[in-house]
Amino acid sequence: MQTFDLGAEGLRALNSALHALKGQTNMTSWEVVNPKGAHAIAAGVDAPVDITVRGSTGYYCAGMNKQATIRVKGSAGPGVAENMMSGTVIIDGDASQYAGATGRGGLLVIKGNAASRCGISMKGIDIVVHGNIGHMSCFMAQSGHMVVLGDAGDALGDSLYEAKLFVRGSVKSLGADCIEKEMRPEHYEALEDLLRRGEADGKARPEEFRRYGSARKLYTFNIDNASSY
């Protein structure tokens, strides 16, 4: 295991070392200590490595992640896993605003709660939140899955496209063009897989969730729907 003391060696040195791991590498296991809320820890990694950050992080931890598995043994600041492409990011604590924003692939797991705008404009990422999510989550979400074991705040899925949202608890309100939809066998199957991969299969059953999706009235402008814009 490669152990990197962020307090002693600095963020630039850490990310430079991680960015140098192009393609295959035998330096597959990394531990980052003394993060002290630093921003952009392990951002832009593009290698099949395992990285454990022992402490809480600031803005944009694991942003643009490709291939790597990154676990934060603490909480994460705004924009964790922003624009993620592939791999897995696991937050053992809470996540601040816009977690997983614009994510195009991979899996983001938040063991605690997520603040507002979780999954905003998601484009293929899968997000599993063990706790609650804040207001305006999944705003303009285009594709991918959001699984919430707790409750959702105001305006869930506002201006939603084709992302699939599963919420176990209550939803304070739905955003424009977001409606509850039927749970079919394929949705139960997909949800079971997401709960397993999101380390939540022992905490909830697919039958306990409700599905939300787009009513598909805002794809193109229609004067009859003008009041919804």
Domain boundaries, the chain: 2-228
Q: pLDDT-derived band of residue 228, with 50, 70 and 90 as boundaries? A: low
**Backbone phi and psi for residue 132, each to the nearest 5 degrees, phi listed first:** -100, 165
Taking CA 186 as the corner, what is the angle to CA 170 and CA 149, rounded to the nearest 5 degrees?
25
The pLDDT tens digits of the residues spanning 144-187 come to 999 999 999 999 999 999 999 999 999 999 999 999 999 999 99
- Give the DSSP letter of residue 74: S
pLDDT tens track for 96-122: 999 999 999 999 999 999 999 999 999
First and final C-alpha spacing in the chain: 53
Are 163 and 143 in contact by the 8 Å Cβ rule? The answer is: yes
CA angle 192, 187, 148 (to 5 degrees): 60
* Res. 226: pLDDT tops 70: no
Q: Say how many CA atoms lie within 13 Å of 40 toward its Cβ.
A: 10
Predicted confidence at residue 24, as pLDDT, reads: 66
pLDDT at 38: 96
pLDDT of 179 reads 97
| Top-level class of domain 2-228 | mainly beta
CA angle 90, 95, 101 (to 5 degrees): 85
Residue 27: predicted pLDDT: 82
Mean pLDDT (the chain, rounded): 95
Largest distance between two CA atoms of the chain: 61
Q: Which of 88, 174, 181, 190 is nearest to 139 (CA)?
A: 174
